[in-house]
Amino acid sequence: MINQLVQKIQKTKAPICVGLDPMLNYIPSHIIQKAFAEYGETLEGAAEAVWQYNKEIVDHTYDLIPSVKPQIAMYEQFGIEGLKAYAKTVEYCQQKGLIVIGDVKRGDIGSTSSAYAVGHLGNVKVGSNICTGFNTEFITVNPYLGTDGVKPFVDVCNEQDKGIFVLVKTSNPSSGEFQDKLIDGRPLYELVAEKVVEWGDASMDGAYSNVGAVVGATYPEMSKILRKLMPRTYFLVPGYGAQGGTAQDLKHCFNEDGLGAIVNSSRGIIAAYKQEKYSKFGPEHFAEASRQAVIDMIADINSVL
């Protein structure tokens, strides 16, 4: 699966994914009002607004990008109705030829991780039938429980040609609280990185492994070291744009061939129309603003590669 992502990145010359993390206050009022008129100020109404918003952004950007990353929490907050909008968004993006990275950050003890893995990446057996729950190409995984919590995800990746990105060094301000703690002189995230390499060793798919890593754009010195520690691991890089990471900050996430990383931007793309820079588009043309923001982001990142 990582090889498919690499090919799409090469074809689009766009090592980016658009983070479909629709907060209600990002969504232009004409979409909100229409959804509420139809379904009321209910979970269903919120889910409809989210779906229509996503759809328009995807329609205006899918030809430029290889991938999207919906953040499931933004859907889960609206319960079942929200998760229906998540599933619908995933399916629509796939129909448009996009690779979907479900940002779910799941992770548990062995048998439970297996259930998450088949639920999000694979197929679940029901009687003699093979069924699918949430069917994304990649998901993100939390490593705090160690190998037996991560291995079931890797197994499903190997069986079904899917992929995961394991949290190594996250982009948020307090990520260092535990992740940076020194163990025999080395930060915890480096130990996690070494495990990611080990977990992904038997999951090679072309030049890279189906077991990738989340490495935040906001800590450039650390990503430099992590790039060396994990030469065949693809990085999913959050933190660009709204969270403060610049193109200069994330150039070390890439290998010399210009591959090895895919950079996410959520708010910076999907709510671009709210920025001064794109205000000329106005809320009615929010998706055109998103398209322009994608074009600008691709140029910005390619300028440092």
Interface positions, 24-53, toward its own copies (CB under 8 A) = 24, 32, 36, 40-43, 45-46
Site membership for its own copies, residue 195 (CB under 8 A): yes
**Is residue 74 close enough to count as binding its own copies by CB under 8 A?**
yes
Binding test (CB under 8 A) with its own copies, winner from 178, 224, 279, 282: 178
Query: Does residue 106 bind its own copies (CB under 8 A)?
Result: yes
**Diameter of the chain by CA atoms?**
60
For the segment 207-236, give every residue that binds its own copies (CB under 8 A).
none
Q: Catalytic residue at 274? A: no
Q: Which is nearest to 16 in space by CA: 271, 258, 288?
A: 258
Q: Which stretch binds its own copies (CB under 8 A): 111-119, 244-252, 255-263, 286-294?
A: 111-119
Helices (H), 161-237: 176-179, 188-200, 220-229
Residue with Cβ nearer its own copies (84 or 227): 84
User: Residues 8, 34, 88, 105: which is the catalytic one?
Assistant: 105
The Cα 150–Cα 203 span in angstroms is 13
CA-based nearest residue to 134, from 76, 91, 82:
91
- Judged by CB under 8 A, the residue of 149, 163, 200, 245 near its own copies is 149
Instruction: Tell me phi and psi for residue 235, to 5 degrees.
Output: -100, 130
Give me the residue label for tokens 């929490």: 73
- Range in contact with its own copies (rule: CB under 8 A) among 73-81, 204-212, 220-228, 289-297: 73-81
**Does 131 help bind its own copies (rule: CB under 8 A)?**
yes
Which positions ≥6 away from 273 have C-beta within 8 Å?
A: 28, 279, 281, 282, 283, 285, 286, 289, 290
Contact between 182 and its own copies (CB under 8 A)?
Answer: yes
List, by residue number, the catalytic residues.
Answer: 105
